[in-house]
Amino acid sequence: MTDVIDKPTTSPISTSRHGDVLIVTSNNPPVNALGAAVRQGLVAAIEEADGDDAIKAVVIRCEGQTFFAGADISEFGKPMVMPMLPQVVDIIENCTKPVVAAIHGTALGGGLEVALASHYRVAVPDAKLGVPEVKLGLLPGAGGTQRLPRVAGVQKALEMVTSGTPIGAKDAYAVGLVDRIVEGELLQHAVAYADEVRDIRPLPKSSERDDKLAEARANPAIFDEFRKANGRKFRGFEAPEANIKAVEAAVAKPYAEGVIDERNLFMGLMSGTQARAQQYFFFAERKAAKIDDIPEDTQPRSVKKVGVIGAGTMGGGISMNFLSAGIPVTIFEMNQEALDRGTGVMRKNYEATAAKGRMTGEQVEKAMAQLTPTLDFDALADCDLIIEAVFEQMDVKKDIFTRLDKVMKQGAILASNTSYLNIDEIAAATSRPQDVVGLHFFSPANVMKLLEVVRGAKTAPDVLVTAMQLAKKIKKVAVVAGVCHGFIGNRMLMPRQVEATKLLLEGATPEQVDRVHVEFGMPMGPFQMADLAGVDIGWHRDPNRIENIRDALCAIDRWGQKKGAGFYDYDEKRRPTPSPVVQQIIEDFAAKQGVTRRQIDDEEIVERTLYTMVNEGSKILEEGMAQRASDIDVVWVYGYGWPVYRGGPMFWADTEGAAKIVEGLKRQEQRMGSDFSFSRLLLDKAEKGEKFTR
């Protein structure tokens, strides 16, 4: 389609004419965020349309990968530049000529609000539409909470604003959010659509509709039902409730009043800590992908085929990630039975996903067809990346790497899925330490988003770059860690575990410690986690050797949920209740060790289990084992369920203040004894009043 560019412009918004349709184009890479210049350009374009009788209709479209992906998040917290987005969308809706939004890529947040203010919306079939503000601790603050229920219905709007999950064009069409799905050249279709609707008056304005509000007006109980149904999911978060309230206002009040409620709720969220934490985390996640000392133009190695050693829970889960991404996997086991069991579990997992409607039967078969099970070690030779996922024992791993060194083609990446062990020692078992890297997946590996990429002393830059890019391809969030015991995540778990166990001896109960963690926002506390993962993990398996509470539990078969008993008793539905047996074991141990039991307050639990984690995180930073504080936060949010509304342990430390943390730790120093030592960096931050994160 040929257009005449009317005037050259430095604005990200340009206009051109196609007949009497004004085409408004945004070109603001990478995602056409609605920054100040875009907003100004849009207003100018609408003024141009209004002021020119020759223009009969308007099409708003974007260049590049996507339609507007929302407000420019990097502008948040800075002085506002006019016009603000709510004004811009009103100006669009009040344009005297019909406005058609032409949507491709992702119309998100403010982007969808621009589309909602347009009189018509056309989209390509693979477009996605959503309001992810809730994930940033916000709500759609440019009329979105008021227009969306009017256009898509109240129930759909509630789901969209509180989940933040975008819907596909087909679903959007079904609920009336998109007027037409167009195949082929989007702009051409959008202009044709504009031609069709150019004379229709009055112009359909989302803000003036209320047909789709009628049902909820007749039955306002739907809001409380929605709250009840989602209570667990929203626990601890402020934004979902504010989103619901805003939609409630859309139903209960006229539009003009609803937008005022929306504004107030938006400003309330914006000034809170949760929104700050969640916006910080948005950028933290993206920053994690960058390795500071490796040039950006470093070329990755090509990975077309992956080998996995070990078809256990980890090996199987790891393989599924690659299969799902269309990358063939050769999986090796020592005997046929283990191989069959492993591949059987993978198939079962895929089928369970299909049963939930998240995969088709055809996709299951396609994924499984890419899998080559083998008992022949040499069959791994032509893989571009090999991931060893056998149990955590250094001599076993070294032996495997020595064999890999002999078999694997030159240039192949040799990775170990270790969660604690020294990658340099493993690499030293080969003649090519530059090709060795740690890839620490979290269990269940096909579900958990985190991947710790462990950088050995000799790991080559292109190996690291490959690992980071591959992680994105298999939909993981990768964080680079240095070689130290437990890397970032598990290393920080250790002081928490040590102190939590000591607290039991000193007088706390598993229920109390867990409650403090759950109230803090963690999905579960340390003892609930132990019961879920298995109390017997790492147990020496000698029932006569009882050195600590865990040994005592394991010796009497209390291995956790799988045995119906661990730190808690479990009923047949796996509901926990406190165990008098465990309480007795704890008290016996305390007596044996001469520990005087006392009343423990919740604050002490926070200081000894959470402040100690911050201290460990700080040590990780000062030793250079993490590139930046925000990487530590990404590990904890994605690997262990740290509540994202607290940003992560290091962001949380900043909201508490390093001085307060040091003070708390000093209060507990004596009780923690030789298990604890201060991080120099933490003391330094406290003294200077500095933060870990920016």
The CA distance from 592 to 287, in Å, is 50
74 binds ligand 3H9 (CB under 6 A): yes
Residue whose CB is less far from ligand 3H9, 145 or 418: 145
110 binds ligand 3H9 (CB under 6 A): yes
Output the CA–CA distances (angstroms, integers) from residue 454 to 164, 479, 615, in the order listed: 32, 8, 21
Q: Which of 13, 57, 69, 585 binds ligand 3H9 (CB under 6 A)?
A: 69
CB of 390 to ligand 3H9, least distance (A): 33
Residue whose CB is less far from ligand 3H9, 21 or 69: 69
Residue whose CB is less far from ligand 3H9, 76 or 539: 76
Nearest to 637 by CA among 530, 531, 523: 523
Q: Is the dihedral of CA 100, 102, 107, 110 positive or negative?
A: negative
Burial of 376 (0-12, 13-18, 19+ CB in 10 A): exposed
CB of 107 to ligand 3H9, least distance (A): 10
CB of 262 to ligand 3H9, least distance (A): 10
279 binds ligand 3H9 (CB under 6 A): no
Contacts of 46 (CB under 8 A, 6+ apart): 24, 58, 91, 92, 95, 99
The CA distance from 268 to 272, in Å, is 7
30 binds ligand 3H9 (CB under 6 A): yes
Reduced to 3 states (helix: H, G, I; strand: E, B; else coil), residue 142 is coil
Tell me the β-bridge partners of 102: 122
Place of tokens 């307060």: 660
Nearest to 415 by CA among 433, 437, 440: 437
Which of these is catalytic: 47, 48, 63, 133?
A: 133
CB of 144 to ligand 3H9, least distance (A): 6
Contacts of 663 (CB under 8 A, 6+ apart): none
529 binds ligand 3H9 (CB under 6 A): no
Contact 137, 145 (CB under 8 A): no
Burial of 83 (0-12, 13-18, 19+ CB in 10 A): middle
Q: Which of residues 222-241 bind ligand 3H9 (CB under 6 A)?
A: none
Output the CA–CA distances (angstroms, integers) from residue 519 to 253, 474, 513, 531, in the order listed: 35, 33, 10, 19
288 binds ligand 3H9 (CB under 6 A): no
The CA distance from 583 to 553, in Å, is 11
286 binds ligand 3H9 (CB under 6 A): yes
Backbone angles phi, psi at 255, to 5 degrees: -50, -45
Which of these is catalytic: 113, 333, 607, 616?
A: 113
The CA distance from 517 to 502, in Å, is 16
477 binds ligand 3H9 (CB under 6 A): no
473 binds ligand 3H9 (CB under 6 A): no
Reduced to 3 states (helix: H, G, I; strand: E, B; else coil), residue 371 is strand
Catalytic annotation present for 362: no
Residue whose CB is less far from ligand 3H9, 261 or 333: 261
DSSP state of 330: E
Residue whose CB is less far from ligand 3H9, 163 or 343: 163
CB of 83 to ligand 3H9, least distance (A): 11
Q: Which of residues 80-109 bind ligand 3H9 (CB under 6 A)?
A: 85, 106, 108-109
Return the axis-axis angle of helices 36-51 and 85-93, rounded to nearest 10°. Answer: 20
CB of 532 to ligand 3H9, least distance (A): 31
Residue whose CB is less far from ligand 3H9, 298 or 374: 298
CB of 164 to ligand 3H9, least distance (A): 8
31 binds ligand 3H9 (CB under 6 A): yes
CB of 136 to ligand 3H9, least distance (A): 6
Residue whose CB is less far from ligand 3H9, 243 or 618: 243
CB of 204 to ligand 3H9, least distance (A): 22
Tell me the β-bridge partners of 308: 331, 387
Total residues at the site for ligand 3H9 (CB under 6 A)? 25
Nearest to 205 by CA among 149, 130, 147, 272: 147
Place of tokens 């929302």: 70
CB of 462 to ligand 3H9, least distance (A): 21
Residue whose CB is less far from ligand 3H9, 85 or 586: 85
Residue whose CB is less far from ligand 3H9, 86 or 98: 86
Tell me the β-bridge partners of 371: 329
12 binds ligand 3H9 (CB under 6 A): no
Reduced to 3 states (helix: H, G, I; strand: E, B; else coil), residue 562 is helix
The 123-162 site mask, x for binding ligand 3H9 (CB under 6 A), equals ---------xx--x-x-xxx-x------------------
| Angle ∠(655,659,662) on CA atoms, nearest 5 | 110
Nearest to 487 by CA among 542, 416, 539, 559: 416
Contact 625, 488 (CB under 8 A): yes
Q: Which of 58, 73, 148, 423 binds ligand 3H9 (CB under 6 A)?
A: 73
Residue whose CB is less far from ligand 3H9, 142 or 380: 142
CB of 141 to ligand 3H9, least distance (A): 4
Q: Is the dihedral of CA 255, 257, 261, 267 positive or negative?
A: positive
Residue whose CB is less far from ligand 3H9, 68 or 567: 68
| Angle ∠(524,529,533) on CA atoms, nearest 5 | 145
Catalytic annotation present for 337: no
Pull the structure tokens for residue 411: 């240039």
Residues making contact with ligand 3H9 (CB under 6 A): 30-31, 33, 66, 69-74, 85, 106, 108-110, 113, 132-133, 136, 138, 140-142, 144, 286
Q: Which residues are catalytic?
A: 113, 133
